[in-house]
Amino acid sequence: MATPLEVVDAFTDRPFAGNPAAICFLDRDAPDEWRQNVAAEMNLSETAFVRSLEDGFELRWFTPAVEVDLCGHATLAAAHALWRRNLVLIHEPIAFHTRSGTLTCTRDGDWIQLDFPATPPEICEPPAGLFDALRIERAEAVFRSKFDLLVELESIESVRKISPDFHRLNEIVTRGVIVTAQADGCEEADFVSRFFAPRCGIDEDPVCGSAHCTLAPYWSKKLGKEILIGHQISRRGGVIRISLKGDRVLLGGQATTVMVGELLADSFPVPEGGHVRAD
């Protein structure tokens, strides 16, 4: 039996930009080891596993190395793929049941809006070795959120020039490190960022939606704005529309499918009583 699979570029309106995610459509539960092997085989920052439930869809995210609790771009990609396959009507919202609770996606033309929990950061002392790992001498401030460290630098150019020592960054105890700066008028955005997560098997994530759950409350408070535009200035790059609503963050992005296929290495067991279709 074959398992349907797509690769979707998220937070972009064109192929080969934004952040690619693999979407694997399951018709039954699958062992974690099998899911992790698939994610390692795909070797993208995230592989999402989607399974239909009575009240929505189960959604789990795996990097090539670990399962994670929250992922924005693969959620957006999964919603895009479900609507594209007509598994959900285009005007209907999608409810994903995840390790971070129920996440809702809605459609607004070519844009998809994700309703995620905010993860506001609190100021902290820089962990030992952080600046050396980032190869910087100083930062405006360092913060810690539920998942990540946030490092504010003085300029867009400082963020763009960051070239971490990933071996040393891997020693810092955190899911990832967000590096950010306020936009200075030359970007059509309020702030820019990059995201590094070597402990999760991702040296640099091209566009990280969940990092913007921390960036949103941070920059909203600092700039006095509830509606913002974030530009992740990785090599591929991506744009995220942001609205802060209390303890929730609405993340808006576009997506495009670049590959559709079948996963033939379907090695987890079929339930007793016969075969289950995978289409």
Q: Please give the DSSP secondary-structure letter assigned to residue 249.
A: E
Task: Collapse the DSSP code of 223 into the 3-class scheme (helix H, G, I; strand E, B; otherwise coil) and give the result.
Answer: helix
- CA distances to 25, 27, 176 from 277, rounded to whole Å, are 11, 7, 38
Strands of 91-201, DSSP E? 94-98, 101-108, 111-117, 122-123, 141-144, 148-152, 176-182, 191-197
Residue 49 has which token pair? 């596993």
What is the residue-wise DSSP string for 147-176? SEEEEE-S-HHHHHH----HHHHTTSSSSE
Given the residues 33, 41, 46, 272, the one annotated as active site: 46
The whole-angstrom separation of Cα 182 and Cα 189 is 9
Question: Quick check: is 46 catalytic?
Answer: yes
Which of the residues are catalytic?
46
